[in-house]
Amino acid sequence: MNELHSNKFRRFSGKRKVVYVTYDSGIPLIGCIAFGLIDRGTNTIQIRPTSMCPLNCIFCSTDAGPNSKRRQTEYIVELEYLVDEFRRVVRYKGEYKIEAHIDTVGDPLTYPKIVDLVQELKNTKGVEVVSMQTHGYLLSEKLIDDLDDAGLDRLNLSIDSLDPELARYLSGTPTYDVEKIMDMAMYITENKRIDLLIAPVWVPSINDDEIPKIIEFALNIGAGKKWPALGIQKYIPHKRGRKPKGVRPMTWKEFYDKLRIWERKYSTKLVLSLSEDFGLHKRKMLPIKYKIGEKTIVETLTSGWQRGEVLTRGKGVSITVVRMPVIPRKGTQLAIRIIRNKHNIYIARTY
């Protein structure tokens, strides 16, 4: 894949190893949180075609971007492989009222075939909605036109501040231009079929004053024609994510109490229901392949997503083995014990 060797994608990877996940690689698309497919037992299937991100947001829960200190590997999934596996999962879950949600541990717009992916997902039997998360750094009018033509239904666009200086600070990226991204948001609402949902991350004591401005912006440009105009996200510190200094996370009560005040002030819905507002409902989940505590022998595939991790394979799923000081050669057999299996995302340790 020539795109992998371009300066553009090397810039996003921060000079880390990039693994191209293909049919021939033997890397399963179920099992690893960093790439592939995630089935959480609902009618929404998460599609993760890439792990890379152009930004270094100071609050990022996955330590994404070129300046990541925890990551050792980035992944890009072959389009045909990803689409075929997605359709297999759809057939298993039922070919009706499926939402294909493109979200990543980075930004989906770093995927070189994002337009083709949207089109293939939209053309899949049973898929009613194709949605995508992005911070919008790579958006252009041409890309928006192409995504609209491909069938993208909703774009969840994270804008965390309307102030250019604060927006650059939050993004951890000197070249981040929020005014350009605001222009792209207006281009969508004024010209395209795509529905727009503005999804700021509220980081207490840093962008408190910006959230009302973002609400007003979203409403003024006509976001939320079919779905809610806004999806305000609560900053939650993660063990392996970035934590801005001096930030005390809000309690959920504090968060929702404030959202309800703004709901009354702006006459718009801010406390959202996944079932009522997005049609999310339970659907049978792919069978769990390993129980917690189960011991097994797996085959080493490549380096894992974060430092000290190795990606392995067993029973047709990817398994991340943690606390590995050295990455074994490909094909090495490891004796492991499963320590996590929720939603078919597998974490293990050697024994």
Please determine, for residue 1, whether its predicted confidence score (pLDDT) is greater than 60.
no
Sequence spans of domains, the chain:
2-278, 295-350
Q: Is the pLDDT of residue 2 over 50?
A: no
Kindly tell me if the per-residue pLDDT of 11 is higher than 80.
no
- Which amino acid would we find at residue 233? Q
Check if 2-278 and 295-350 are the same fold.
Answer: no
SS3 percent helix, strand, coil of the chain, rounded to 5, is 30, 25, 45
| pLDDT at residue 6 greater than cutoff 60 | no
- The pLDDT value recorded for residue 14 is 80
- Nearest Cα neighbor of 340 from 320, 313, 311, 316 is 320
Dump pLDDT digits (tens) for 115-169.
Answer: 999 999 999 999 999 999 999 999 999 999 999 999 999 999 999 999 999 999 9
What confidence tier does 7 reach under pLDDT thresholds 50, 70, 90?
A: low
Residue 293 φ/ψ region, left for φ over 0, alpha for ψ in the -120 to 50 degree band, beta for the rest: left
CA distances, 321 to each of 51, 190, 343 (Å): 18, 48, 17
| DSSP character string of 202-248 | E-TTTSTTHHHHHHHHHHHHT--SSS-SB-PEEP---TTS---TT--
Which one-letter DSSP state was computed for residue 333?
E
Please state which CATH number belongs to domain 295-350. Answer: 2.40.50.140
**Nearest in space to 323 (alpha carbons), one of 332, 314, 342, 336:** 336
Q: Assign a CATH topology to domain 2-278.
A: TIM Barrel (3.20.20)
What is the rounded distance in angstroms from the CA atom of residue 235 to the CA atom of residue 152? 27
CA distance 53 to 150: 22
- pLDDT digits 0-9 by tens, 175-185: 999 999 999 99
